[in-house]
């Protein structure tokens, strides 16, 4: 029995949402098969293969995003990571910040994007060397929400 992932979600970090000053908001995709299987397969023999993905939000607007495997480590560079990029406009329109959750769904070959406002802290106050400091709460934040069992 195979499983087809229908919905995944990501608790946004400050880096995902662009709050750290990066030039473009986007999400690092973990190399875990249960998350990667949501996305199209890419040709790893090419340098930095990518595919455009079109997600529709709950207002009916379609957003173009890019699923990219930055694999230049195998072509003389240093990167070896999957990312979903081109999310800045959607994040800004939705006023998404770290701690919010982005939900990606595939149903009948249609892709949709939604979000939930977060109440999960992405920073924590700690005492270190007698001073209060703010630290980031780390974790990849990805989870499978829904899947369909195929027989």
Domain ranges of the chain: 2-150
By DSSP bridging, strand 142-150 and strand 101-107 are unpaired
Instruction: Tell me the whole-structure pTM to 2 decimals.
Output: 0.79
Write down the pLDDT at residue 151: 35
Write down the pLDDT at residue 17: 79
Write down the pLDDT at residue 1: 41
Q: How many CB atoms within 10 Å of residue 49? A: 16
Write down the pLDDT at residue 56: 97
Listed in sequence order, the residues at least 6 apart from 88 whose beta carbon sits closer than 8 Å to its beta carbon are 18, 24, 25, 26
Write down the pLDDT at residue 108: 86
Write down the pLDDT at residue 150: 44
Q: Which CATH class is domain 2-150?
A: mainly beta
Q: Give the residue ranges of the chain where pLDDT is below 50.
A: 1-2, 138, 148-151
Distance CA 101, CA 116 (A): 5
Write down the pLDDT at residue 111: 96
Write down the pLDDT at residue 21: 74
Write down the pLDDT at residue 119: 67
Write down the pLDDT at residue 18: 77
């Amino acid at each position: 029995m195979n499983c087809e992932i229908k919905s995944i979600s990501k608790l946004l970090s400050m880096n995902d949402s662009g709050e750290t000053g990066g030039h473009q908001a986007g999400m690092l995709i973990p190399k875990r098969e249960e998350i990667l299987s949501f996305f199209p397969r890419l040709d790893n023999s090419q340098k930095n293969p990518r595919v455009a993905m079109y997600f529709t939000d709950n207002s009916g607007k379609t957003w173009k995003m890019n699923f990219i495997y930055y694999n230049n480590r195998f072509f003389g560079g240093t990167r070896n990571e999957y990312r979903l990029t081109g999310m800045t406009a959607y994040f800004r329109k939705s006023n998404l910040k770290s701690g919010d959750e982005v939900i990606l769904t595939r149903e009948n070959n249609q892709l949709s994007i939604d979000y939930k406002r977060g109440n999960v802290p992405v920073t924590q106050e700690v005492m270190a060397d007698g001073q209060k400091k703010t630290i980031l709460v780390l974790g990849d934040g990805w989870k499978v929400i829904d899947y369909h069992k195929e027989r």
